[in-house]
Amino acid sequence: MTTSSSAKPTLAVIGGTGAEGSGLVVRWAVVGYPVIIGSRSQEKAASVAAELSAQLPSGSASIRGDENGAAAKAGDVVVLCVPYAAQEGTIAQIVEGCQGKVVVTVGVPLQPPKVSTVWRPAAGSAAEEAQAQLGDGVRVVSAFQNVSAAHLKDLSYTVDCDILVAGDDKAAKAVAIELANAAGMFGIDAGPLANASVAEGLTALLIGVNIRHKIKSSGIRITGIGRAEEQ
């Protein structure tokens, strides 16, 4: 990864205080994306932002924290990374600040305690539920569901997982693919937002693989597709 800080969009990572979100924050900040961590608590957001900033090499972009609604308003792109059970309530806090923007949903609908069994909400996927709640003024893209949080903050670790990017707007998908590639992963256009149900379901399957193989970060890789290092 490089550490250039050319003009990049500011990312608001809602739930960036958590396991998955904080790992993504680190991966994006180190390659120059200014990041605002969103939280229910401004204090918690600021504290996690300071903690993550301290781990980054000099030359990385800034990480700051704010309350969810303010973070979404200040971000150019919003990344939603909260547990499924918290999705509806969190979107209610950020819906205004997301209007006109791309929102990348990372959430997976899991039904504890059966977290290794695929479960789909009535809309088909958490991403489609998010789109319905955020409204037509927001372009929702689903991505990063299959990347385990386990090693994300360890920048010496190469994440061996492709990123399936589903959405109904090509330009919005390009934003998420760029974020995947910038974070050292491989983003793939996986079709319309309705296909988010497959990527979300895969996570339950991967959790089961992790449990049965006593590992922490199984992932997926699409074969038969050209990659930069092979071209």
Which of 8, 21, 32, 61 binds ligand NAP (CB under 6 A)? It is: 21
Quote the DSSP letter at residue 164. Answer: E
Which of 203, 204, 218, 220 binds ligand NAP (CB under 6 A)? It is: 203
142 touches ligand NAP by CB under 6 A: no
* β-strand partners of 67: 39
Which of 9, 10, 40, 198 binds ligand NAP (CB under 6 A)? It is: 40
| Furthest C-alpha separation in the chain | 47
Cα gap 64→75, rounded to integer Å: 11
Show the binding pattern over residues 44-63: x = contacts ligand NAP (CB under 6 A), - = does not. x-------------------
Nearer to ligand NAP, 15 or 34 (CB): 15
Q: The dihedral of CA 3, 72, 51, 178: what is its sign?
A: negative
Cα gap 229→148, rounded to integer Å: 23
Nearer to ligand NAP, 3 or 205 (CB): 205
Of 200, 201, 231, 205, residue with least CA distance to 218: 205
Spacing of C-alpha 121 from chain mean position: 19
Nearer to ligand NAP, 3 or 64 (CB): 64
Show the binding pattern over residues 153-192: x = contacts ligand NAP (CB under 6 A), - = does not. ----------------------------------------
Show the binding pattern over residues 80-99: x = contacts ligand NAP (CB under 6 A), - = does not. -xxxxxx--xx---------
Quote the DSSP letter at residue 60. Answer: P
